Amino acid sequence: MSGSDSAGTESSPSPVTADDLDLAVQLSVAVLREAPAAAWERKAGSLEWDCWETVEHLSDDLFAYAAQLGPRTPPLDGNVPFVWESRRPGGPANAIHADRAAGPTGLLQVLEASGALLVAMARTTPSQVRSHHVFGMSDPEGFAAMGIVETLVHTYDLTEGLGLTWTPPADLCSRVLARLFPDAPRDTEPWPTLLWATGRTELPGHPRLTSWRWYGMPRP
C-alpha cells in the first residue's frame, strides 16, 4: 500500500476534508484485511496493546470525535459523557468494543463503521461549529484531521505487529501535518515526518520525540 513519494512541501496546503478521512480509513481497512487471522494477538508496534485492542482503540477515537460534533450544542468544556472502560488491566479504555465472536472481519467492520460516522459528521457539520478536545477546541476540519492522524499512525503500529507494509499517500500526510503540526519540519518526506511528529521514529537531525501533541484549534 503506497502513495506518492513527493516531499509535499507546498506553501499553502489545501484544507483537510471528509474525503481525505474516508480515504485514510478505506486504505487502512484494505491493508488490515491482509493480516493473517492468527496475528491479531501480537503486540501492535511500540504500543502495549495487542493488534485487536489497537483497532478497537482506533475505532473508539473515530467514534469519539464524531460524537463531539453530534449534539446540537457541542460541549466546549469536556467530552460527551459516554462510559469508557478497559476490558483488562493496561488495556485501552474504550466506549467501542468489537465482538470477538465476529472475528477479524467483524473487527474491521467496526473500524469502517466508526470511520464512516466521523466522515459523515465532518462532511455535514457547519465549519463554524466548535467542540472540546483535550488539546483545545476544534472545528470539523480539525476533528477530521485528528481522525486521519489516528488512522495513519495506528495503522503503522498495527502493520508493524501484523507483518504488513504501510505507506500512506504523501499529500494526505502533508495536509494533516500542516493542519495539526505547525512546528514539524517542512523539508522532509511527509510520511516519515508524521511518524516523527507522533513519537514513532527519528528524522535526520531530529531525535525521536519522547512527548508530543498536535494543535487542533481552528486556523485563522
Instruction: Tell me: pLDDT of 119 over 60.
Output: yes
Q: Quick one: which of 113, 77, 81, 75 has its CA closest to 95?
A: 81
Say which residue the cell 486504505 belongs to.
27
* pTM (predicted TM-score): 0.93
Residue 11, domain member (yes or no):
no
Residue 216, domain member (yes or no):
no
Residue 215, domain member (yes or no):
no
146: CATH: 1.20.120.450
Q: Work out the mean pLDDT of the chain and round it to a whole number.
A: 93
State residue 220's pLDDT score: 78
Instruction: Tell me: pLDDT of 19 over 70.
Output: yes
Domains in the chain: how many in total? 1
Decide: 142 and 104 in contact? Cβ < 8 Å. Answer: no
- The rounded distance, in Å, linking the Cα atoms of 24 and 3 is 11
Residue 114, domain member (yes or no):
yes
Residue 158, domain member (yes or no):
yes
- Range of 83's domain? 18-197
- The rounded distance, in Å, linking the Cα atoms of 115 and 202 is 29
State residue 101's pLDDT score: 97
The three-class DSSP label of residue 20 is helix
pLDDT in tens, 141-199: 999 999 999 999 999 999 999 999 999 999 999 999 999 999 999 999 999 999 999 99
Identity of the amino acid at 66: A
State residue 142's pLDDT score: 98
